[in-house]
Structure 1
């Protein structure tokens, strides 16, 4: 069974670690985010391809005690590193998609890449 909490693990656990990085001017300290390491050559691994889940600290009450949050999926860049299919890449990311049966609303994803 695939589930959010099976994919995304809290930093500084045996399942996931990430280095310090910046999101714009905001410093994200080592091992403070939920995230995962993406597959390499179609196999699990734990050192390259860190992807983290960020949120901006705001939420919207949509009723019945349910809140919606602004979520950012951030993939840390690599340099010609072996990726999901065995080829070299600088960037790869996974994004969630509804697994519910029937017609589901579309989810818009916006991509932004910052090279410094």
Structure 2
């Protein structure tokens, strides 16, 4: 699992298309709020890499993606060509946009989107 909270951390994202998508979201947030992107103000990103990333609680949080999906506590799900973007709101202005490769969800049959 990769946690992206700054532009500098984008370099760790191996998938070029996902990296470009996160960069675009950061740029959009910066333009929308007329200030530099800040994870604690605008939210942050997680890239799931293997099946345990779906089941384990996120770093620093008390819940997993599987728990949120099963309870229906997600703000939106957007299906892309090779992945899903799943948004979870943490508080009034901070959320997590989670990137889940389609192949991971097909491996884990109990999760329905």
Provide the TM-score with structure 2 as the length reference: 0.27
Larger radius of gyration: 1
More helix by share: 2
